[in-house]
Amino acid sequence: MPHNFNVVVLISGRGSNMESLIRNAKNYRITAVISNNQDAIGLNFAKSCNIPIFSFPRASYLSLSEQKSAIFRKVDQLTPDLVALAGFMMIVPKEVTESFYGRMINIHPSLLPDLPGLDTHSRALSENRLRHGCTVHFIDSEVDTGPIIAQAECKVMQDDSTNSLAEKVLKLEHRLYPWSVQNIACGAISLKDGKVSYSKEVISSAYTEKFLIPT
């Protein structure tokens, strides 16, 4: 299958979701990885795969807003079909979320709309949640709120620690994110009038994979 669906990935650190997107790229191509942090560990893996990397360290810019402008100017120049945020720790400017609406997605380590924001695993534990997981969603102008594409969940066990829970959720993330991107790439998942729509095949594949999709 020709890899003519181009994805740009934005990271800030470890980049394990980026790695999973690269390793599982079947009908899409990661054309570049961009970071706001020149020391992001994930950049090394992308480089070892000969994927162009671009970093925009805060120290090179007079202000945060100039740094963001440089990052998203580069994203624009690359003309991606999809932008995938993967542990990208910056709030995306409103004008960018508007121009990329339906073409920019994020993975978040909770079952949104529950537990938006940071420290989701420790909050899941302290709130005695029975279930936890991750969500892939389209980006809108608020943080962690855009239309939900799919979720993967796990049980929270009595003996779970923040680390064990994070590990369980991360394993789910590494399956859910490539699955979502693959299905967006082939048009089986799309955003129409603010609602996510799914092909019949995707609905059955989500069932097989035990992923949740909003009905």
Shortest distance, position 177 Cβ to ligand GRF, whole Å:
8
132 counts as catalytic = no
What values do phi and psi take at 204, rounded to 5? -75, -35
Inter-residue contact 215 to 151 (CB < 8 Å): no
Shortest distance, position 133 Cβ to ligand GRF, whole Å:
10
Per the residue annotation, which of 3, 108, 137, 174 is the catalytic one?
108
- Binding interface with ligand GRF (CB under 6 A): 11, 13-17, 86-87, 107-109, 134, 170, 173
* Pick 67 or 135: Cβ nearer ligand GRF: 135
Distance CA 89, CA 13 (A): 9
Shortest distance, position 188 Cβ to ligand GRF, whole Å:
23
Q: Could you identify the residue written with the tokens 């925009």? A: 56
Tell me the residue type at 34: I
* Pick 35 or 77: Cβ nearer ligand GRF: 35
Helix axis angle for 16-23 and 162-185, nearest 10°, is: 40
Position of minimal CB gap to ligand GRF = 87
Distance CA 64, CA 187 (A): 35
Tokens of 4: 């003519």
* Pick 15 or 178: Cβ nearer ligand GRF: 15
Distance CA 211, CA 188 (A): 15
Shortest distance, position 182 Cβ to ligand GRF, whole Å:
17
* Pick 14 or 29: Cβ nearer ligand GRF: 14
Tokens of 143: 């943080």
* Pick 164 or 199: Cβ nearer ligand GRF: 164
Distance CA 113, CA 167 (A): 21
Shortest distance, position 80 Cβ to ligand GRF, whole Å:
18
Number of C-alpha atoms within 13 angstroms, CB side, residue 62? 0
Q: Residues 145, 146, 151, CA angle at the centre, nearest 5°?
A: 90
Active site residues: 108
